[in-house]
Amino acid sequence: MAARAHGPNILITGTPGTGKSTLAAELCQRSTLNYVNIGEVAKQGDLYEGWDHIYECQMIDEDRVIDELEEKMGQGGNIVDYHSCEFFPERWFDIVFVLRTDNSILYDRLESRGYTGKKLEDNVQCEIFQTILEEARDSYKEEIVHELFSNTPEELEDNLEKVLSWIEHWKATH
C-alpha cells in the first residue's frame, strides 16, 4: 500500500457533463488536495494514441497516462477527474465518487455545450444505463464507491461538504 504522505487519493468519475470538473476544481480550492484532470494531463504530455472518428476526439494513451501519474499518485493528495475509471490501478484510490445527473438535465447541459447527434445521444444513454457506476463497482471495492447526485447548485454544495468532511475524517484517522 502506498504511503499517501500528502493525503488520500480521490477519483471523481461519471458521464460527461455530470459536473466532475466543477466539483473537483472547487474541492481543490477548499482543501490542500491537488487537481488532476486526466484530459489535461493527456493534452499537456501529448499522451494520445489516435483519433476517434466516431466521437471526433483524441483517444488517450492509457498506459502512458498511468506511467506519467504513478509517482504523484503514490505520494497521495490527489483528486482525479475522468469520465472513465476501469483502466486506473485499483490501488491508486481511497474513495471513488460517481456523479449522477437526471437525463433531461444532462441532455440540456450537453446540448448547450454544443453536443449534437450521436455524441449527445450516446452520452445521455451512458447515464441512463448507469454505465460508469457499474464500471466503478466492477473495478473498485464496493464499499469505496459512492454515488453523488449533481443536478442542482444545492446538490453541488452538499457534495462539496460530504467530500470535504470525508477528507477531514481520512486525515484524522491516517
Ligand X SMILES: Nc1ncnc2c1ncn2[C@@H]1O[C@H](COP(=O)(O)OP(=O)(O)OP(=O)(O)O)[C@@H](O)[C@H]1O
Task: Summarize the annotated binding site as residue ranges.
Answer: 17, 19-22, 113
Which helix (H) or strand (E) segment holds residue 31: the answer is none
Distances 74 to 31, 94, 101 between C-alpha atoms, Å: 19, 12, 31
**Residue 77 binding partner per list Mg ion, ligand X, none, with a CB distance cut-off of 5 to 8 Å that depends on partner kind:** none
Asked whether position 21 contacts Mg ion by CB under 5 A, the answer is yes
Site string for ligand X, 25-44 (x = CB under 6 A): --------------------
Asked whether position 50 contacts ligand X by CB under 6 A, the answer is no
DSSP 51: E
Give the footprint of ligand X on residues 91-120 (CB under 6 A).
109
**143 exposed, middle or buried (CB, 10 Å; 0-12, 13-18, 19+)?**
exposed
**Residues 6 or more apart whose Cβ sits within 8 Å of residue 96:** 10, 11, 13, 85, 136, 140, 144, 145, 146
Q: Identity (one letter) of the amino acid at 70?
A: E
Q: Which residues are annotated as a binding site for ATP?
A: 17, 19-22, 113
Measured from the CB atom, is 56 or 142 closer to Mg ion?
56
**Residue 100 binding partner per list ligand X, Mg ion, none, with a CB distance cut-off of 5 to 8 Å that depends on partner kind:** none
**Residue 84 binding partner per list Mg ion, ligand X, none, with a CB distance cut-off of 5 to 8 Å that depends on partner kind:** none
Q: Mapping DSSP to helix (H, G, I), strand (E, B) and coil, where does residue 4 land?
A: coil
Measured from the CB atom, is 40 or 63 closer to Mg ion?
40
Measured from the CB atom, is 40 or 49 closer to ligand X?
40
Asked whether position 17 contacts ligand X by CB under 6 A, the answer is yes
Asked whether position 155 contacts ligand X by CB under 6 A, the answer is yes
Which helix (H) or strand (E) segment holds residue 151: the answer is none
Q: How far is the CB of 11 from Mg ion (least distance, A)?
A: 13
What's the CA gap between 122 and 77, in Å, rounded?
33
Per CB under 6 A, residues contacting ligand X are 14, 16-22, 83, 109, 150-153, 155-156
